[in-house]
Amino acid sequence: MDELTLGFISFCTSVITGVIGIGGGLLLIAILPSFLPLNALIPIHGLNQITSNLSRAYFGYKDIQFQVIPKFLVGSFIGVGIFMYFLKTISLTYIPLLIGVYILLSLWSRNFNTKIMKYESYYVIGFFQTGVSVIVGTTGQLAMTKLLKEFKDKNKVVATSAILMSITHILKITVFIYFGFVFYDYLSIVTNMVVGSILGSYVGTKLRNKLDSKKLIFILKIFLSVLAVKNIISIG
């Protein structure tokens, strides 16, 4: 039953990201602690997000701005190489706490977001987005902030963000494979989530210009905050 539930959740979160361009990954990483052991949270989330982002990029292929990819890729390689060291030193017990605090800060702290918005270079964005994602799971708003400034077309922003996030999650998954995580042990869960994310990307792409994104974002922020607090409290 958990497999089907996670497949449906993956579908819903993928629809959200397909419409807004961001938010679904944060929502999913906030929900997963209720279903998965701590050591599986970030690798399973990352594998699912690869599918979600690649499918969203595929459905919006004509809108991808490929010129930003090389700089982001260089920064990502350096970031993942450095931050994988910190993964060895962090107790798994505190992963939900880190995720919860990160979500609350990114949603409600103007000072926090002002600081992360300073990383305007795609080299630097790649470094932090991919590096930090190894620890907290998803950091898509870093690239999204830059893309929103450069491209006024929502479809270009969403499609390009999807390909950059795909790079982030592919490199992150490589780290967990290096550390010995076995995805085969979660094959049924992964399969259902992957199918859900692909369907969600398709539906989200179709709905992007038909739904009120502002209302959806507000509801999403409230729901995410509740889940983030739940993650923080679970540590106690």
Q: What is the pLDDT of residues 17-53, one digit of tens each?
A: 888 777 788 888 888 988 988 888 889 999 998 998 8
Q: How many domains does the chain have?
A: 1
User: For residue 200, what are the domain limits?
Assistant: 2-235
pLDDT at 64: 93
pLDDT band at 119 (very low <50, low <70, confident <90, very high): low
pLDDT at 125: 83
The Cα–Cα gap between 115 and 200 comes to: 32
pLDDT at 94: 72
Q: What are 35's two structure tokens? A: 């279903």
pLDDT band at 208 (very low <50, low <70, confident <90, very high): confident
Q: Which helix (H) or strand (E) holds 44?
A: helix 41-59
> Residue 76, exposed/middle/buried by CB under 10 A (0-12, 13-18, 19+)?
buried
Task: Assess contact for 181 and 38: CB atoms under 8 A.
Answer: no
Q: What is the mean pLDDT of residues 61-85?
A: 92
Quick check: 98 pLDDT over 80? no
pLDDT band at 155 (very low <50, low <70, confident <90, very high): confident
